[in-house]
């Protein structure tokens, strides 16, 4: 039978160390909502989402009460809209119409975010893909809960540089359209290399075409729990450090598994995966950077940071796969800047630069995330930043992403406040040398030699 | 049998167990095990209870217990289904 010490440990994790289930995300296929008539298509999309997920928020809250564990977000991911809208969208405005429909459905079922205003263009863009991408700035400025993502490359296909160049401009335009809100639109926009089909985390969640009609994916979090566990590990060897991270990740993931199983049963929707990511929030004690400091770095960004992060990421995965047979999504450590108090501090004091963050993305689970850059950064420079990150993902056969926010009207040394889970961030300096000739070449970067595995 | 774990933490005072047990009896909840310590005047209790015959929704009991602790006794009472502890601490 469960003993006093174990109960106290679990409750201490929840109450003092910010252990929570970050999200229950229901994936919903909209493939059969395609219709040559835009009005009908929107109607079908709205009905499908509301019918499929009307109980999601209530069930999430019930599970939270039953087990005494906070479930922070309830979210929806849908089939990439460029596929669903292909037969009825003739203009950018048509896609904006679908985005508004998604937003209305998300509001009506009470979820926090809806992801899937997406296009998968890793090798080439269809006319529909391009229309959707061009509609993103307007779509994100007139909606509140819709998140957009674009997959620009993969290890198997190489990198679609035409789309990379286009996204450089789309980031800027999105920033301009939401300039009155500190360019917040860009916080809801992310580009990927090797995007997973079952990611429950925003802004990059979408319901891949390899998925069933509906699926429940759960994202767990708990940087604070790992940090606390490492507090007693000062002076110990790497072997002991790794063992501690692994055991902690195991416990966190088991909670996610329980919630996923319950949600799947109560909603009568198949369970997909648990994403065991360490996802920080701006709250005190909920920081990935603090874990790195606990390992022995003065600040995140100090020499040794990449090695520490590699160790952390790997041990989290090793603990997690033991706890759940179906681990997926992004699974690993997230390193967003504005959403992590320790990262913000490191960026403010100059310990952390974009170049160091780029190195860190080689070994962590995602990429350049929630980084505020000067509003006058040229489109081509943003495209260059994206291309670098996509190349890291392509060559290392891992997921990488870029979510940068060119804050219109602000420059280095100023701060931007997004509020809530999105936090605040100092504007970080970007390398000012030009890359326009390179990114303007057009075409694609071929897949790397090690992608030929057949 | 469906089990839940009730934890009570707070400053020690007269009648904590009595108040909690009276409430549980009224809800048709059977107590299976109680362990309790007092450290530096702070009361710590863990109860394992059987909720198979619970007379109201679990969420309601959990909320009422929380309120009972906060408003009447001055302690923090938490009630969780057992699975979360089993999952985390047992392979």
Question: For residues A99 and A148, what is the distance between their CA atoms, to the nearest angstrom?
Answer: 10
Instruction: Give residue A366's pLDDT.
Output: 86
CATH number of the domain where residue A102 is located: 3.20.70.20
Q: Which of A7, A9, A257 sits opposite B87 (nearest CB)?
A: A257
For residues A147 and A269, membership in a common domain is answered with no
Cβ separation A10–B48 shorter than 8 A: no
Instruction: Give residue B41's pLDDT.
Output: 84
In a domain, A231, yes or no: yes
Sign of CA dihedral A202, A271, A103, A150: positive
Question: Phi/psi of residue A382, each to 5°?
Answer: -60, -40
**How confident is the model over A294-305, as a mean pLDDT?**
96
**How confident is the model over A35-44, as a mean pLDDT?**
97
A411 three-state secondary structure? coil
Looking at A193, A209, A240, the residue that finishes a domain is A193
CA-to-CA dists, residue A305 to A300, A414, A453, B71, angstroms: 6, 25, 33, 48
List chain A residues with CB under 8 Å of B63.
65
Residue range B1-17, pLDDT digits in tens: 899 999 999 999 999 99
**How confident is the model over A78-90, as a mean pLDDT?**
96
Q: Is the pLDDT confidence value at A54 over 90? A: yes
Distance separating the N- and C-terminal Cα atoms of chain A: 51
B46 touches chain A (CB under 8 A): yes
Q: Residue A283's pLDDT band (boundaries 50, 70, 90)?
A: confident
Mean pLDDT estimate for chain A: 95
For residues A144 and A286, membership in a common domain is answered with no
Q: Which residues of A touch B (CB under 8 A)?
A: 1-2, 4, 6-11, 62, 65-69, 251, 254-255, 257-258
List chain B residues with CB under 8 Å of A9.
89
Q: Is the pLDDT confidence value at A64 over 80? A: yes
**How confident is the model over A134-155, as a mean pLDDT?**
97
Instruction: Report how far Cα A412 is from the mean position of its chain's Cα atoms.
Output: 25
List chain A residues with CB under 8 Å of B89.
2, 6, 9-10, 251
For residues A68 and A33, membership in a common domain is answered with yes
Q: Which of B7, B59, B62 sits opposite A7 (nearest CB)?
A: B7
Q: Which of A2, A62, A69 sits opposite B82 (nearest CB)?
A: A2
**How confident is the model over A171-183, as a mean pLDDT?**
95
Residue for token pair 């229901």: A26
For residues A275 and A308, membership in a common domain is answered with yes
Q: Is the pLDDT confidence value at A423 over 90? A: no
Question: For residues B84 and A14, what is the distance between their CA atoms, to the nearest angstrom?
Answer: 11
Q: Is the pLDDT confidence value at A332 over 90? A: no
Residue A157, both tokens: 């296909």
What one-character DSSP code corresponds to residue A64? H
Cβ separation A2–B48 shorter than 8 A: yes
Say if residue A45 is exposed, middle or buried (CB neighbours under 10 Å; 0-12, 13-18, 19+): buried
Q: Residue A284's pLDDT band (boundaries 50, 70, 90)?
A: confident
Question: For residues B49 and B47, what is the distance between their CA atoms, to the nearest angstrom?
Answer: 6
Instruction: Give residue A365's pLDDT.
Output: 82
List chain A residues with CB under 8 Å of B85.
2, 6-7, 10
**How confident is the model over A84-103, as a mean pLDDT?**
97
Instruction: Give residue A221's pLDDT.
Output: 85
In a domain, A400, yes or no: yes
Q: Which of A1, A62, A68 sits opposite B84 (nearest CB)?
A: A68
Instruction: Give residue A276's pLDDT.
Output: 87
Question: For residues B5 and B87, what is the distance between their CA atoms, to the nearest angstrom?
Answer: 14
DSSP-assigned states of every residue in A93-162: HHHHHHHHHHHHHHHHHT-SEEEEEEEE-SS---HHHHHHHHHHHHHHHH-SSEEEEEEEEETTTEEEHH
Q: Is the pLDDT confidence value at A81 over 90? A: yes
Reported ipTM: 0.90
Cβ separation B7–A11 shorter than 8 A: yes
Residue range A186-201, pLDDT digits in tens: 999 999 999 999 999 9
List chain B residues with CB under 8 Å of A62.
59
- Is the Cβ–Cβ distance between A69 and A14 less than 8 Å? yes
Residue range A209-237, pLDDT digits in tens: 999 999 999 998 889 999 999 999 999 99
Question: For residues A409 and A420, what is the distance between their CA atoms, to the nearest angstrom?
Answer: 22
B82 touches chain A (CB under 8 A): yes
For residues A47 and A170, membership in a common domain is answered with yes
Instruction: Give residue A453's pLDDT.
Output: 84
Instruction: Give residue A245's pLDDT.
Output: 95
Residue range A352-371, pLDDT digits in tens: 999 999 999 999 988 999 99
Cβ separation B85–A66 shorter than 8 A: no
**DSSP alpha helices (H): ranges in A178-304?**
223-231, 238-267, 288-294
Greater model confidence, A18 or A421: A18
Q: Which of A6, A62, A68 sits opposite B78 (nearest CB)?
A: A68
CA-to-CA dists, residue A445 to A162, A166, A261, A362, angstroms: 10, 15, 42, 19
Assessment of whether the complete model's pTM goes beyond 0.80: yes
Cβ separation B48–A1 shorter than 8 A: yes
Pairing verdict, β A146-154 and A113-120: parallel
For residues A301 and A345, membership in a common domain is answered with yes
Cβ separation B89–A10 shorter than 8 A: yes
Q: Is the pLDDT confidence value at A419 over 90? A: no
Structural domain for A123, as ranges: 29-193
In a domain, A310, yes or no: yes
For residues A47 and A155, membership in a common domain is answered with yes
Q: Please state the domain extents for chain B.
A: 3-89
Number of domains in chain A: 2
In a domain, A437, yes or no: yes
Question: For residues B91 and B89, what is the distance between their CA atoms, to the nearest angstrom?
Answer: 7
**How confident is the model over A27-56, as a mean pLDDT?**
97
Cβ separation A258–B83 shorter than 8 A: yes
Q: Is the pLDDT confidence value at A1 over 80? A: no
For residues A188 and A225, membership in a common domain is answered with no
CATH topology of domain B3-89: Alpha-Beta Plaits (3.30.70)
Q: Which of B58, B59, B89 sits opposite A2 (nearest CB)?
A: B89
Instruction: Give residue A263's pLDDT.
Output: 96
Cβ separation A10–B86 shorter than 8 A: no
CA-to-CA dists, residue A234 to A12, A244, A297, A311, angstroms: 21, 12, 11, 16
B79 touches chain A (CB under 8 A): yes
Closest residue of chain B to A61, computed from CA coordinates: B59
Instruction: Give residue A374's pLDDT.
Output: 96
Instruction: Give residue A75's pLDDT.
Output: 97
For residues A154 and A81, membership in a common domain is answered with yes
């Amino acid at each position: 039978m469960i003993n006093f010490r174990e109960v106290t440990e679990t409750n201490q994790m929840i109450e003092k160390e910010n252990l929570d289930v970050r999200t229950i995300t229901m994936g919903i296929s909209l493939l059969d909502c395609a219709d040559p008539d835009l009005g009908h298509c929107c109607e079908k999309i709205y009905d499908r989402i509301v019918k499929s997920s009307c109980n999601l928020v209530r069930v999430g809250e019930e599970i939270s009460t039953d087990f005494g564990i906070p479930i922070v977000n309830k979210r929806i991911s849908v089939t990439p809209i460029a596929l669903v809208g292909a037969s009825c969208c003739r203009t950018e405005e048509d896609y904006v119409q679908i985005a508004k429909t998604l937003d209305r459905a998300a509001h009506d079922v009470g979820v926090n975010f809806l992801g899937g205003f997406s296009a998968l263009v890793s090798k080439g863009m269809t006319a529909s893909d391009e229309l959707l991408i061009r509609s993103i700035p307007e779509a994100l400025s007139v909606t509140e809960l819709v998140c957009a993502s674009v997959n620009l490359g993969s290890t198997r296909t190489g990198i679609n540089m035409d789309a990379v160049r286009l996204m450089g401009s789309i980031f800027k335009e999105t920033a301009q359209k939401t300039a009155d809100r500190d360019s917040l639109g860009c916080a809801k926009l992310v580009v990927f290399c090797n995007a997973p089909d079952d990611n429950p985390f925003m802004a990059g969640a979408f319901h891949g075409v390899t998925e069933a009609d509906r699926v429940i994916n759960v994202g767990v979090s708990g940087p604070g729990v790992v940090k606390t566990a490492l507090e007693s590990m000062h002076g110990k060897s790497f072997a002991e450090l790794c063992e501690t991270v692994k055991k902690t990740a195991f416990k966190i993931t088991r909670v996610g598994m329980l919630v996923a199983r319950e949600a799947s049963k109560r909603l009568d929707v198949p369970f997909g995966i648990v994403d065991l990511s360490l996802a920080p929030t701006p709250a005190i004690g909920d920081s990935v950077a603090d874990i790195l400091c606990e390992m022995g770095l003065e600040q995140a960004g100090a020499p040794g940071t990449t090695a520490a992060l590699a160790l952390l990421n790997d041990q989290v995965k090793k603990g997690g796969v033991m706890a759940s047979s179906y681990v997926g999504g992004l699974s690993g450590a997230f390193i967003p800047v504005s959403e992590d108090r320790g990262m913000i501090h490191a960026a403010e004091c100059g310990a952390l630069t974009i170049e160091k963050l780029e190195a860190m993305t080689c070994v962590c689970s995602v990429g350049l995330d929630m980084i505020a850059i000067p509003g006058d950064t040229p489109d081509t420079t943003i495209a260059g930043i994206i291309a670098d990150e996509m190349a890291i993902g392509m060559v290392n056969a891992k997921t990488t992403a870029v979510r940068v926010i060119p804050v219109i009207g602000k420059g280095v040394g100023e701060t931007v406040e997004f509020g809530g889970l999105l936090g605040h961030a100092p504007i970080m300096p970007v390398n000012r040398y030009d890359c326009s000739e390179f990114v303007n070449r057009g075409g694609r970067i071929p897949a790397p030699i090690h992608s030929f595995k057949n | 049998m469906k089990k839940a774990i009730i934890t009570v933490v707070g400053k020690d005072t007269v009648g904590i167990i009595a108040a909690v047990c009276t409430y549980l009896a009224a809800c048709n909840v059977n107590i299976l095990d109680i362990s309790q310590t007092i450290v530096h005047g702070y009361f710590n209790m863990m109860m394992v209870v059987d909720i198979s015959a619970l007379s109201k929704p679990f969420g309601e009991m959990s909320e009422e217990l929380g309120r009972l602790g906060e408003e009447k006794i001055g302690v923090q009472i938490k009630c969780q289904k057992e699975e979360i502890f089993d999952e985390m601490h047992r392979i």
